[in-house]
């Protein structure tokens, strides 16, 4: 019995060691803390966890992960605990973690704190507090283009001219609106090219939760029942993808491939590859001369690997239309080198009312001319920055919404025509 207990205790210690650090044995000179809203069952959090593990393995850093940390005082407590464990840098992955991470940063000036999707680092001027986000709207656009090609393939022999797609969104925040709008613009661009003479609109249902598998599945099913032929999402569970698989409806997921459970309906997924940023953090701990920007962002690298950047897409699923890979290669090249702007104002129209798009200036045709966005966030969410630019690209003037150029986190919160909130 004693021998059995000894073996069990030894095994438990080994598991704890490997969970806390990139490798068992001699400790590294760098220890990183990771705070996650959920665990690896969340596609969102798993994307962060996988990237951090890879970065720590590559750079030889120790890692302590805290999962299921809510967006309240427990986040602050988790951060302080990680400091007590010797972490020199701490990263939190959810929007609502920000005020608690900022509080910890002010109290612990000798530790570096990092936060994904945050909005305040560029105005707080706290030297050890950082925000980070990638230009994922570019990835959404590319994934949407793949969806548009699939939709065109699905309806090529149909006589109807008007079709619907659906989108499961978490909250009506700028991050979500930027994501589903860029996705829809990519889809519509491809559909207009490959299904000439036909139109498409999009219905959006919000779950008011980042992670609720039941609500996400119900929202996807409601959209399918309303006639949506293809579904995408900005929500963190498997609810929407599995609902699509059950119904035989093609799906574009987010943060990672869902092909393991949805082999017949998965098309593609866009995601942020956080590994380059995490490696930058580790390098900065070792060498103070390698400073991390207060507000960091990055765009496309290689299409499927993000080798040179932090935006990429997964490998195509079985449901992708023929020719999609070649089309996406060209599309990413155009984004990187030919100046393609996702939010080109010539590609969408905006309806302004007393309660809708109040910060927009549009012409008589609904083209966006100016827009004041809430970039320097305050309690009242005051619009403070003009974010519509006109520049010359290849000898042509292009007017576009400059997403993530004034702040890493998205601030696109316009309701464009063709998108219906259900």
pLDDT tens digits, 184-209: 999 999 999 999 999 999 999 999 99
For residue 119, give every residue at least 6 positions away whose Cβ sits within 8 Å of its Cβ, in sequence order, or none.
98, 131, 377, 407, 409
Q: Which of 103-117, 154-168, 288-302, 343-357 has the lowest mean pLDDT?
A: 288-302
- Output the pLDDT for position 25: 45
Residue for token pair 């986040």: 75
**Using an 8 Å Cβ cutoff, are 412 and 195 in contact?**
no
What superfamily in CATH does domain 136-273+305-421 come from? Answer: Response regulator (3.40.50.2300)
Q: Percent of the chain having pLDDT more than 70?
A: 92
Backbone angles phi, psi at 171, to 5 degrees: -130, 160
The pair of structure tokens assigned to 280 is: 């930058």
Q: How confident is the model at residue 373 (pLDDT cuts 50, 70, 90)?
A: very high
- pTM for this predicted structure: 0.91
Q: Give the fold, CATH level 3, of 2-132.
A: Rossmann fold (3.40.50)
**Using an 8 Å Cβ cutoff, are 169 and 180 in contact?**
yes
Q: How far is CA 199 from CA 145, 189, 202, in A?
A: 15, 10, 11
Strands 368-373 and 385-386: antiparallel
The pair of structure tokens assigned to 133 is: 């986000």
**Using an 8 Å Cβ cutoff, are 366 and 349 in contact?**
yes
- Output the pLDDT for position 26: 64
Three-class DSSP category at 110: coil
The pair of structure tokens assigned to 254 is: 């987010």
* pLDDT score of 339 more than 90: yes
Label residues 102-115 b or e (16+ Cβ within 10 Å = b): bbbbeebeebbbbb
Backbone angles phi, psi at 214, to 5 degrees: -65, -50
The residue among 380 and 239 whose pLDDT is bigger is: 239
Residues of the chain with CATH 3.40.50.2300: 2-132, 136-273+305-421
Q: How confident is the model at residue 69 (pLDDT cuts 50, 70, 90)?
A: very high
Reported as a single tens digit per residue, the pLDDT across 142-152 is 999 999 999 99
């Amino acid at each position: 019995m004693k021998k059995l207990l000894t073996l069990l205790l030894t095994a438990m210690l080994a598991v704890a060691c490997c969970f806390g650090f990139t490798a068992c044995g001699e400790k590294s000179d760098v220890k990183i803390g990771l705070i996650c809203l959920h665990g690896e069952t969340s596609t969102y959090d798993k994307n962060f966890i996988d990237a951090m593990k890879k970065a720590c393995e590559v750079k030889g850093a120790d890692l302590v992960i805290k999962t299921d940390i809510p967006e309240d005082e427990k986040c602050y407590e988790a951060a302080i605990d990680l400091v007590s464990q010797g972490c020199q840098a701490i990263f939190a992955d959810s929007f609502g973690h920000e005020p608690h991470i900022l509080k910890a940063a002010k109290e612990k000036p000798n530790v570096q704190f990092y936060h994904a999707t945050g909005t305040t680092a560029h105005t707080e001027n706290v030297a050890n507090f950082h925000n980070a986000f990638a230009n994922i709207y570019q990835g959404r656009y590319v994934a949407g283009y793949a969806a548009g090609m699939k939709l065109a393939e699905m309806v090529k022999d149909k006589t109807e001219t008007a079709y619907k797609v659906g989108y499961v969104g978490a909250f009506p925040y700028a991050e979500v609106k930027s994501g589903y709008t860029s996705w829809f613009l990519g889809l519509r661009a491809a559909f207009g090219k490959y299904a000439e003479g036909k139109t498409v609109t999009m219905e959006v249902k919000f779950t008011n939760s980042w992670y609720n598998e039941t609500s996400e599945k119900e929202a996807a099913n409601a959209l399918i029942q309303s006639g949506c032929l293809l579904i995408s999402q900005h929500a963190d569970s498997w609810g929407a993808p599995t609902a699509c698989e059950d119904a035989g409806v093609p799906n574009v997921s987010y943060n990672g491939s869902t092909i393991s459970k949805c082999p017949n309906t998965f098309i593609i997924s866009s995601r942020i590859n956080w590994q380059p940023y995490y490696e930058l953090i580790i390098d900065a701990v070792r060498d103070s001369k390698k400073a991390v920007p207060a507000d960091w962002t990055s765009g496309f690298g290689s299409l499927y690997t993000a080798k040179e950047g932090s935006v990429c897409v997964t490998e195509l699923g079985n449901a992708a239309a023929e020719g999609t890979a070649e089309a996406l290669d060209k599309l990413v090249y155009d984004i990187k080198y030919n100046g393609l702007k996702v939010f080109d104002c010539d590609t969408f129209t905006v309806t302004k009312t007393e309660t809708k798009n109040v910060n927009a200036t549009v012409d008589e045709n609904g083209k966006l001319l100016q827009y004041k966005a809430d970039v320097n966030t305050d309690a009242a969410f005051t619009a403070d920055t003009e974010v519509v630019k006109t520049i010359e690209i290849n000898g042509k003037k292009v007017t576009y919404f400059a997403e993530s150029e004034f702040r890493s986190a998205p601030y696109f919160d316009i309701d464009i025509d063709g998108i219906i909130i259900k």
